[in-house]
Amino acid sequence: MIKNCLFPVAGYGTRFLPATKAMPKEMLPLVNKPLVQYGVEEAQEAGMDNFGFVTGRGKRAIADHFDISYELEHQIQGSGKEAMLSDIRGLIENNTFSFTRQHHMKGLGHAILSGKPLVGDNPFAVLLADDLCVGDAPGNGVLKQMSELYNQFRCSIVAIQEVPADQTHKYGVIAGESMKDGLYRITDMVEKPAPEDAPSNLAIIGRYILTPDIFDIIEQTPPGKNGEVQITDALMTQAKKGCVLAYKFKGQRFDCGSVDGFVKATNYVYENVYTPD
Ligand code: G1P
């Protein structure tokens, strides 16, 4: 069973300036909860309890969020407001949160490699908190679905969704042989291709399960697209050596790294998830 989840959270979030000038983009709230907390809750639902954050400068608010806030908690003790902290308190009490810094922004592959000391020699999930994912039924989040597949196949898995041809340049795009409904064995993968170079319209979104041999592969992976060490390139090497699966998840995904997706996610949460205390 997978117990570890890595959160690469070193990115700048320039699309949301000036909001992200002094605040990490992962702390932007969907109604009353920061993006990163939705991610942690999804990972916990999948049975994970060891959460590693690959952070950078200016990201201390994330570490503070997953820690006790004595003054505040003392202040609201005994009032109705205490209940508003019960979820986050439960997360803090029942899980381990650890942090390391990515000193240079050299791509997602490099960020994941920087997180190696936090997950050790174990299979682990990677969750990009920019993507809000909602499963098709309560308790069946996207990482849970992927974790169950991992238990069956024991190899790396990426979550995919169909995107319009004019969007392929934003994603890693795969080609694969269909194994069963919604599950592919990857035969090709290209990072952010122009539509004419895309091997399909199946784009990788921000959920991965990786086997720990990926770390050695990343170390051997030269910089690719945009001069960055790409996890897509490392996964392609892994796919050639053995097997990497792509899974068309059941549910919805909101790209909260874009203003449009962020607004849609906010409305979704307000209408379907948020319960006022
Ligand atoms: C990264 C990956 C890309 C993937 C995307 C999902 O890109 O490099 O393959 O499709 O995440 O969100 P980024 O969005 O960090 O540029």
Domain range summary for the chain, segments of one domain joined by +:
4-272
Distance in angstroms (rounded) separating the CA atoms of residues 166 and 198 = 10
Angle made by CA atoms 152, 150, 233, in degrees to the nearest 5: 130
- Contact in structure between 139 and 183 (CB atoms under 8 Å): no
Q: Say which CATH class 4-272 falls into.
A: alpha beta
| Window from 43-47, 65-69, 218-222, 267-271 with minimum mean pLDDT | 65-69
Q: Decide if pLDDT at 157 tops 90.
A: yes
Question: 13 vs 120, which has greater pLDDT?
Answer: 120
Q: Tell me the pLDDT tens digit for each residue of 36-73.
A: 999 999 999 999 999 999 999 889 999 999 998 888 88
Around ligand 1, the residues with Cβ closer than 6 Å are 108, 128, 131, 171-172, 191, 203-206, 230, 232
Q: Which two tokens stand for residue 11?
A: 């990115």
**Ligand 1 midpoint to CA 265 (Å):** 19
SS3 (DSSP) at 259: helix
Cα of 106 vs centre of ligand 1, distance in Å, is 13
Question: Residue 150 in contact with residue 2, Cβ under 8 Å?
Answer: yes
Separation of CA 260 from chain center: 19
pLDDT of residue 277: 67
Of all protein residues, whose CA lies closest to atom 9 belonging to ligand 1?
A: 172
Tokens 């196949």 belong to residue: 153
Q: What pLDDT score does 82 carry?
A: 82
Predicted TM-score (pTM) of the model is 0.96
Nearest CA to ligand 1 atom 7: 171
Distance, CA of 17 to CA of 20 (rounded, Å)? 5
Structure-token pair, residue 204: 């990788």
3-state secondary structure of 193: coil
